[in-house]
Structure 1
Amino acid sequence: MGGPSGPENPRAHSRFGPAVPAWAAGAVLLATALATVPDAIAQSPGQGQPSGEQSAAESPSAPPKLTNLRYTEDYSYLRGPSNRTGAWWEPFKYIPLDASGTSYLSLGAELRFREEAYWNFNWGEVPVDNYQWYRILPYADLHLGPNVRLFGQMIGAWATGKETNVTGVDETGLELLQGFGELKLPLGDGADLTLRGGRQLLSYGSERLISLRYGPNVLRAFDAGLASVEGGPWRVDTFYARPVRNEVGSFNDRFNEDRSVWSVYATRKLEEISPTSGLDLYYIGYRNTDAEFNQGSGDEVRHTLGSRFFGKAQAWDWNFEGMVQFGSFDGGNIRAWSVASDTGYTFEDVTFSPRVGLKANIISGDRNPNNPNLQTFNALFPRGKYFGEIGLIGPYNLIDVHPNLTLHLNDQWTLSGAAVFYWRESLGDGIYDTAGGLVRPSDNSRARYIGTQADVILGWEPTRWFSAELAYSVFAPGQFIKDTGPSKTAHFVGFETVVKF
């Protein structure tokens, strides 16, 4: 998301213990140095691939893709000595605990340093805000035979230099990010039932509604109970969860008593189209006893029905999603909806293999703040960088068109650019940030156009386990911003380095 968000905290500045910046900065410098080590020291199959993808030419014994969830990575293939390459990280990933090798321990971590700078945040409400985020995510994954596992992950997250309020999205000290037990039970005919309980990260679909909030400094965890059945082309998850309320300071995060979510989420593979194509069908229930929208605040009970069709075939890729919402808010009825699309074509035989894409969204807004019924779509727990790095606009009461281009300069470097054009879907509603906070009320403005955004991102991934990124964004305000408050052009620069193994 890139911008200040989350619950307000009265502290205007973080107090970062004096030893923490030293080791965090040292870790970043060490990571940068390691990234330049000759290939003979740390190369492994799959390096040079984007962290979220795996080459189709890789065998089943190749390393799994590195994910943000971490618990989905399976390193049991290292049980076979012939599958080991001598990469420096392999001894951490498979530590056998019995003679059979079915009980083993996997260890890993992520270290991230991120610098962000805003000029005219929220179009002039904060003239300059230049700050640093530091994050470490160590984990341990204990497998006790083929059917039982215990997974634990800590988070250390700190911020320095902020002019705006430091919140639990910026800094949470040391906390338990994930801690759950999991039991897998065979059901026959190749189907399995997985039961999981405890604190965990949840991610579904394109993370439009349930996400990790990976882009900001503090990831979003849930205290949840989950059951999952997977067999044939189908996987069906059902869960009940409460999001963790992140507070500034160590070991003080607790589940949010105001908010709860429950869901049945089904995914079917469509391998007749391609190995990466599929269809999602889902229901998500949600309650927030302290919800706030342009028309006011109150108790919100909301139900979402949705479907997503996604995949790749030949040079095309696509991701289409439609959602309807109903329920009640502060005595009124909820009727809201959203449609989203992301379509791309990759010119594989052209220099730099350019991918040309177009995203477009229509997200309903409230028609009349004086009417008790509510039409504002609620994105629930959306991904952090929803509409680019600058993060000023969230997916509420919006029409947006988002052409984009990605160039693969070589095996290590990518360059992407995008433009985003924003309009209000309803003139009776305001605009919101990614977390759902009201940024500008409607204030009787009749202007629909919000503004124009442009993004440029340069990415570097010289190895499987190290990446860096430099981003620039600019947001020129439209008439609605000019009608409702400060209206200066906003600029954003972000830089980050990540070590993940």
Structure 2
Amino acid sequence: MVAVAAACAMPFAANAQVSTNLERAPTLTIERYSEDWSMLSNPANRKGRWTEPFKYIPLGDGGTIYLTTGVEARSRYEDYENVNWGSSPDDSYAWNRLMPYADLHVGKVRMFAQPILSAISGTDRMKGPADTTGVDMLQAFVDVEVAVPGDASLQLSAGRKLVSFGSGRFIDRRYGTGVPLPFDGFEAILTGKTRQLTGFYLLPVDTRPGGFNDRHSRNKAVWGVYATQWLDATRLNGFDVYYIGLRDRNAIFDQGAGKQLAHTFGSRIFGDDGAWHWNVEAAFQLGAFAGHRSEAWGAGAETGYRFRSTPLRPEIALTADIVSGDGDPDDPKLGTLNSLFPNGKYFGALSPIGPRNLVHVRPSISVRPHKDVALSLTGVAYWRESTADGIYAIPGLLVRSGRQSDARFIGKQIELATSWQVTSELNLTASLSAFYPGPFIRDTGSARTIRMAGTQATFRF
């Protein structure tokens, strides 16, 4: 995929969305609240863009009280043939969402609000939490900046928020689906020139069809500490260390269902020198499941190279992951890694399986036939890490049990994607994907090739 020099843009499995020419709007983000438009208080910094009057609206003298506004409008169409390798009916639908926001700054205090209006059309199947939430509040929180000694800043945050840590391997925003995943909770973020330390306690929000009925989960909670050390002023090179705790009162694995308490310890090394980029991460997970001990692990690496002076500016990348599965379903000790809340489109636009009990290798190549257009071709091969465990969907649901097959190879996938940055605000994408089943899928049920076509239009300022 086409990477943009951001340390958090390269997860265990690379972000599958193709991006083009993001340099034209470098301050736009997915979560929106991290954008800083205070520089527009100085008329010399204004470029005459039509969006500038919406990004900095002074509400008092001195420039310390101001309002920032913006919106995202997105429509995405997906068409699936042979859902679940033919065991479920074909499906096609359109996700539509509108997400305006208002960001009020009053000195060291800021109040951020982002409602969401979402809908799904064209399908009669049961609607899931990622499909639609009607009209609801996606984000609503208060930040306070507290003075601390030295050149650091301490930010305290409480409310509902889209959150992603590091590469998004364990906690991410589920942005690619119809409805992103917010969290209710608290954060304390201590930031210096070259390092950052975040402590958090978060409850995932159960998004539901219907208006203003989203509530935080009573079954799940996450907490922890995430530390980053940057090696230079660009913040593109550095390393992370982290601890994340999870409580899930109804965790589901091939071994069974029960209460899980998981403690995940991990580290990540990341970097980008403009040509090469890399991301290496490993994690170890301890805890208990259904009253018995659990122990799991995962590791992965991504590296890529951009040929910046070559025609079409090609980029090649290789990603590989290994994520532990359970070695014996009859042994009460659990060995399957709980990946918590990973990206909603983990391996690409077509992602029938998620990062549990998995080995995957993913080469890709992208080119830019025009400065605003990118094309990418990605291939993925999947194996089970343990032949005694099944395969899982991205949210963690069991897709197929491993008890009926000793085969390790799950299948292979190919995806062709394109993206056109029409203007700084409008992006159009399209993708074609196919997942070819391997011996494990053939042994455990229907084994037709899944085919998927998707198109998307996103307007954001």
- TM-score class, shorter-chain normalisation, is over 0.9
Determine whether 1:498 maps to 2:461: no
Q: Could you say which residue in structure 1 is the equivalent of 2:79?
A: 117
Q: Could you say which residue in structure 2 is the equivalent of 1:267?
A: 228
Determine whether 1:249 maps to 2:214: no
Residues in 1 aligned to 2:190 and 2:320: alpha-carbon distance in whole angstroms: 33
Percent identity reads 43
Q: Could you say which residue in structure 1 is the equivalent of 2:130?
A: 169
Tell me which stretches of 4 or more aligned residues in structure 1 moved more than 3 Å: 49-55
Residues in 1 aligned to 2:384 and 2:134: alpha-carbon distance in whole angstroms: 38
SS of the residue aligned with 2:222?
strand
Determine whether 1:391 maps to 2:351: yes
Q: Could you say which residue in structure 1 is the equivalent of 2:288?
A: 328
Amino acid at match of 1:264: V
SS of the residue aligned with 2:370?
coil
Which of residues 79, 82, 87 is equivalent to 2:49? 87
Q: Could you say which residue in structure 2 is the equivalent of 1:228?
A: 189
SS of the residue aligned with 2:185?
strand
Is the contact made by 1:71 and 1:141 (CA closer than 8 Å) also made in structure 2?
A: yes
Is the contact made by 2:21 and 2:372 (CA closer than 8 Å) also made in structure 1?
A: no
Show CA shifts across 1:258-317 (max 9, x none).
000001000110118x65111110000000001110010000000000001001125210
SS of the residue aligned with 1:123?
helix
Is the contact made by 2:20 and 2:374 (CA closer than 8 Å) also made in structure 1?
A: no
Is the contact made by 1:124 and 1:490 (CA closer than 8 Å) also made in structure 2?
A: yes
Which of residues 125, 131, 135 is equivalent to 2:93? 131
Instruction: Summarize the alignment of residues 14-25 of structure 1 with structure 2, pairs less than 5 Å apart.
Output: none
Residues in 2 aligned to 1:171 and 1:329: alpha-carbon distance in whole angstroms: 31
Q: Could you say which residue in structure 2 is the equivalent of 1:189?
A: 150
Show CA shifts across 1:31-73 (max 9, x none).
xxxxxxxxxxxxxxxxxx9579547xxxxxxx65210110000
Amino acid at match of 1:317: H
Show CA shifts across 1:439-462 (max 9, x none).
001123110000010000010002
Amino acid at match of 2:153: D
Q: Could you say which residue in structure 2 is the equivalent of 1:258?
A: 219
Show CA shifts across 1:168-201 (max 9, x none).
2101000111111110012132111100001111
Is the contact made by 1:52 and 1:67 (CA closer than 8 Å) also made in structure 2?
A: no
Superposition RMSD in Å: 1.4
Q: Could you say which residue in structure 2 is the equivalent of 1:204?
A: 165
Q: Could you say which residue in structure 2 is the equivalent of 1:70?
A: 32
Q: State the Cα distance separating 1:358 from its structure 2 match.
A: 0.3
Show CA shifts across 1:111-146 (max 9, x none).
00000000001100224211110011110000002x
Q: Could you say which residue in structure 2 is the equivalent of 1:302?
A: 262
Is the contact made by 1:64 and 1:73 (CA closer than 8 Å) also made in structure 2?
A: no
Is the contact made by 2:131 and 2:179 (CA closer than 8 Å) also made in structure 1?
A: yes
Please list every run of 5 or more consecutive structure 1 residues that lacks an aligned counterpart in the other structure.
1-48, 56-62
Is the contact made by 2:21 and 2:421 (CA closer than 8 Å) also made in structure 1?
A: no
Residues in 2 aligned to 1:252 and 1:304: alpha-carbon distance in whole angstroms: 31
Is the contact made by 1:52 and 1:65 (CA closer than 8 Å) also made in structure 2?
A: no
Is the contact made by 2:244 and 2:263 (CA closer than 8 Å) also made in structure 1?
A: yes
CA 1:326–1:275 in structure 2 vs 1: closer, same or farther (change >3 Å)? closer
Q: Could you say which residue in structure 1 is the equivalent of 2:4?
A: none
Q: Could you say which residue in structure 2 is the equivalent of 1:445?
A: 405
Determine whether 1:405 maps to 2:365: yes
Determine whether 1:108 maps to 2:108: no
Which of residues 265, 273, 285 is equivalent to 2:245? 285
Is the contact made by 1:119 and 1:126 (CA closer than 8 Å) also made in structure 2?
A: no
TM-score, structure 2 normalization = 0.94
Residues in 2 aligned to 1:157 and 1:374: alpha-carbon distance in whole angstroms: 38
Q: Could you say which residue in structure 1 is the equivalent of 2:334?
A: 374
Residues in 1 aligned to 2:313 and 2:252: alpha-carbon distance in whole angstroms: 45
Amino acid at match of 1:65: T
TM-score, structure 1 normalization = 0.87
Q: State the Cα distance separating 1:163 from its structure 2 match.
A: 4.0
Q: Could you say which residue in structure 2 is the equivalent of 1:363?
A: 323
Amino acid at match of 2:112: F
CA 1:223–1:275 in structure 2 vs 1: closer, same or farther (change >3 Å)? closer
Residues in 1 aligned to 2:176 and 2:21: alpha-carbon distance in whole angstroms: 15
SS of the residue aligned with 2:53?
helix
Amino acid at match of 1:295: Q
Q: State the Cα distance separating 1:156 from its structure 2 match.
A: 1.1
Residues in 2 aligned to 1:332 and 1:473: alpha-carbon distance in whole angstroms: 40
Q: State the Cα distance separating 1:154 from its structure 2 match.
A: 0.4
Amino acid at match of 2:75: F
Is the contact made by 2:277 and 2:304 (CA closer than 8 Å) also made in structure 1?
A: yes
Amino acid at match of 2:126: N
Residues in 1 aligned to 2:359 and 2:423: alpha-carbon distance in whole angstroms: 38
Please list every run of 5 or more consecutive structure 2 residues that lacks an aligned counterpart in the other structure.
1-17
Residues in 1 aligned to 2:86 and 2:319: alpha-carbon distance in whole angstroms: 28
Is the contact made by 2:163 and 2:171 (CA closer than 8 Å) also made in structure 1?
A: yes
